[in-house]
Amino acid sequence: MALRIVAHRPDPAIVRLPWATPLEEWTDEWVVPLPRGLSRHIVRIVRLGQRTYAVKETEEPIAFREYRLLRDLQRMGLPAVVPLGVVAGRVGTDGADLPAALLTEHLRFSLPYRSLFSHGLTADNLPSLVDALVVLLVRLHLADFFWGDVSLSNVLFRRNAGEFAAYLVDAETGELQPTLSDSMREHDLTVGCENVFAELLDLQASQAITGEVEAHRIVDLIRERYDTLWGELTGEEEFSTEDMWRIERRIERLGDLGFDVEELDIVTDFDGDQVRIRPRVVELGHHCRELQSLTGLMVEDNQARRLLGDLAAYTAHNDLGGEDRALVANRWLTTVYDPIVALIPPEFRGKLEPAEVFHEVLEHRWYLSEEAGHEVDIVEAARAYIADVLPQRPDEAVTGLTEP
C-alpha cells in the first residue's frame, strides 16, 4: 500500500519523517525532548525546520475521525490543538503494516499537568487547574460537544496571568451533537471527577507534587464550579418590568467572567408585567477581543484582563481619559508594553510568553514597591525581574525556534 498523507496546510517536510519505522523507535534526529502527557497511544513530539508537531499512532479510522473532529473544533474557535493531518498506509521495513499517525501542531508554551508540578506548582495550585478544566468543559458543552473522557491527561495547560488556560489535546472519544442533553453533560462531569480523582491520587503516590492533596475536596470543587458557571451562562432569570436593569447587570456579570453575550432570549408574560431572560449564545474571550481591537495583541483572556488593567492605570496616571482610547492604547503599547518585552534577552524567550512576562513584571513591581515604600518605575522593576527571577524559570517553549 502506498503512503497516504491527508493534511490541512501541508508541510512538505512531513514526507521526510521515517514513516517506515514504528514511532517508539524514532531517534533524537527527529524527536524533541519535550514533556508529554500520559496517553494510551505512542506519542512523540517532532521538529521539522521551524515547526514542531505531536505525532500519535492509532488506528486509521480513529485517526481520520479525530482529525476531522479537531478541524471542526478549530473552525468553531474552541480551545483545542490544531490538527495538521493523517499519515496512513505505513509499512515497516519488514513489510508489516504500521498504525496510522495523527499529526497536530505543538501548542507553544503549553505543558501537561504532571510537568507543571515539576516546574514549581504545588498542591495549592490545584484549584487553578480545576478552574481551567471546568472552563474548557463548559465551553465545549456550550458548543454541544460531548467529550467522553474528561481528564487532566487529555488537556494541555498554558499560563494565563497567574492562572491557567486549558486546551483539549485528545478528542478521540468526542462527538459533536445536534443538541447536548443534560444526561450527556452529567456523564462528562461524572467521568471527569472520577478521572481527576485517580490522577490526583497517582500524583500523590508518585510524590510528584509538593503539599497535601485533598483529592475529595478538589473533585467536589469541579462539580461545584461547573454548576456555578453553567448556571450563570445558561440559567433563566425572571423579574418584573420595573427591574429591567437586571438585564444589563446579567451581561456585566458575564463580562466579568470573560464571556460576551452574543444572543439573549427575552420573553414577557401575557400582561407584560414579568420578564424572563436566558442567554442563548455566549462566547469566552471578552477581554481578548477588547485588547486585540485596541492593540492587536493576541493573548489569553486573563492576560488580556491584566494588560487592560495596566492600560487603564496608564490612562488615569497620564490624565488621558478624554482622549481617543485607541490612540491611548497605541501609546501605551509603544511606550510601556513593547519596551518591557524588548528587555527580555533572547536566551530567556523560551521561558514564558511575552504577555505572561509582562504580568509577572507587574507582580514583581508591586512587591518591590511594597519593600521600598514608594512606587517603583516599571522599567526598573522589569530589569530586576529579568535579572533575579526569570533566569530561575524553566523553559516552557521549544528554544531556538521562531513562531511559525
Task: Average the pLDDT over 80-86 and give the result.
Answer: 94
**How does residue 1 score in pLDDT terms, banded at 50, 70 and 90?**
low
| pLDDT score recorded for residue 402 | 35
User: What is the CA angle 380-381-387, rounded to 5?
Assistant: 90
Residues 6+ positions from 166 with CB-CB distance below 8 Å: 79, 129, 132, 133, 135, 136, 155, 156, 157
- Tallying the residues shown for the chain, one arrives at 404
Question: Where do we find the cell 484582563?
Answer: 305
**Residue 114 grid cell:** 504532571
| pLDDT score recorded for residue 37 | 54
* Strand partners of residue 43: 56
Percent above pLDDT 70 for the chain: 96
**Residue 34 grid cell:** 519535550
Is the pLDDT at 398 greater than 60? The verdict is no
Least confident residue range of 223-232, 305-314, 391-400: 391-400
**pTM of the full structure:** 0.84
Domain with CATH 1.10.510.10 in the chain: 111-234
**How does residue 206 score in pLDDT terms, banded at 50, 70 and 90?**
confident
Least confident residue range of 16-25, 221-230, 272-281, 298-307: 272-281
Over the chain, what is the mean pLDDT?
89
Is the pLDDT at 403 greater than 50? The verdict is no
What's the rounded Cα separation, in Å, for the pair 313 and 378? 12
Specify the fold of 4-106.
Phosphorylase Kinase; domain 1 (3.30.200)
Contact 247/277 with Cβ under 8 angstroms?
yes
What's the rounded Cα separation, in Å, for the pair 125 and 132? 11
Contact 242/254 with Cβ under 8 angstroms?
no
Is the pLDDT at 22 greater than 60? The verdict is yes
| pLDDT score recorded for residue 36 | 57
CB atoms within 10 A of CB 99: 19
Contact 162/125 with Cβ under 8 angstroms?
no
**How does residue 272 score in pLDDT terms, banded at 50, 70 and 90?**
low
* Strand partners of residue 30: none
| pLDDT score recorded for residue 249 | 84
**How does residue 400 score in pLDDT terms, banded at 50, 70 and 90?**
very low
**Residue 333 grid cell:** 503599547
- Give which of 37, 293, 308 is closest to 169, Cα–Cα: 37
111-234: CATH number = 1.10.510.10
Cα 305 versus chain centre, distance: 15
Domain with CATH 3.30.200 in the chain: 4-106
| pLDDT score recorded for residue 262 | 77
| pLDDT score recorded for residue 34 | 64
Cα 245 versus chain centre, distance: 34
What's the rounded Cα separation, in Å, for the pair 77 and 247? 27
Task: Average the pLDDT over 64-69 and give the result.
Answer: 96
Which tens digit of pLDDT belongs to each residue from 92-135? 988 899 999 999 998 888 888 988 887 778 888 899 999 999 99
- Give which of 81, 50, 44 is closest to 400, Cα–Cα: 50
